[in-house]
Amino acid sequence: MFFKNIYLNFRRYSFLLYELVQRDFKVKYKRSVLGILWSVLNPLLMMIVMSIVFSQMFRFNEPGQNFMVYLLTGLVMFSFFSEATNTAMASVVTNFALIRKVYIPKYIFPLSKCLFVGVNFLITLIPLYLIILFTGTEETRAVITWAHLALPYVFICLFLFSLGVGLILATISVFLRDMFYIYTVVLTILQYLTPLFWNMSMLEGSGYVHILRLNPLYQFITFARTIILDARLPELSSFIICGAWAIGLFIIGGIVFRAKQDKFIYYV
């Protein structure tokens, strides 16, 4: 019933949702010379720096693998999760003035933040595909195949997962403002526990491998890397695991948010 109401409210307040996303774009790129172009340049510059550091200085690259593509695939997906959950977490608190004046379904605020970050994420796919097309040797060059048609599946899974986590964080942050600082530490830990610049094969034989594979971000990123780097579809189990994480966290986030949203007004 709750998710049916979400759908009906989504249709009713779609204009407001559009305005909130548009407002975020205007605020982010206001007085910016580069504007949206920065969304393309930022991951490219970050990738260049990290590629030099980790492939040349620390030798983290795998033989026969395009490390730039490996790195940027992980970076753009982790960056989406990080930014989406961070902005969703603050969305209710920063819109308390609007919540007190008129009735608006409160989940609209976390949803609008995730949609805004999602649009930016689609823009960052441009540098990713530029790297795919123009980097690597004959041995390591990634190729674009029909398997890339399955990438929207994992992107949608990542979006739903991030929205679910964002709903939970938005709920907690209303009652516990320290969550903003705690989550910064959690994200830092999660960044190093997710194989962004290092490969899970480095830990083969270690008992930590099975624990690290429980990380849902590892599942999403590995799904995308299998398609992009190996030019093949992931196993059916990967589709099921990614879908389960996405739907599971989305439902849990919706339940937690709904259970507490009526009390938000008392914690302004």
Greatest C-alpha distance within the chain: 62
Q: How confident is the model at residue 190 (pLDDT cuts 50, 70, 90)?
A: very high
Residue 33 structure tokens: 């010379």
Q: How confident is the model at residue 171 (pLDDT cuts 50, 70, 90)?
A: very high
Give percent above pLDDT 90 in the chain.
35
Residue 144 structure tokens: 């674009």
At 211-265, the pLDDT tens digits run: 788 899 999 999 999 999 888 899 999 999 999 999 999 999 999 998 888 888 8
Confidence (pLDDT) at 2: 52
Confidence (pLDDT) at 89: 93
Strand, coil or helix: 64:
coil
Angle at 219 between CA 186 and CA 247, to 5 degrees: 85
Segments making up each domain of the chain, as ranges? 33-267
For 15, 44, 60, 62, 140, the CA distances from 137, given in Å and listed in that order, are 48, 19, 18, 14, 5
Q: Where are the alpha helices (DSSP H) in the chain?
A: 2-12, 14-29, 37-51, 67-94, 96-101, 108-134, 151-175, 179-193, 208-212, 216-230, 236-260
Residue 137: DSSP 8-state: -
Give yes or no for a contact between 107 and 167, defined as CB atoms under 8 angstroms apart. yes
At 92-138, the pLDDT tens digits run: 888 887 777 777 788 888 998 999 889 888 888 888 888 888 776 66
Tell whether the model's pLDDT for residue 1 goes beyond 60. no
Q: How confident is the model at residue 85 (pLDDT cuts 50, 70, 90)?
A: very high
* Dist CA 119 CA 114 (whole Å): 9
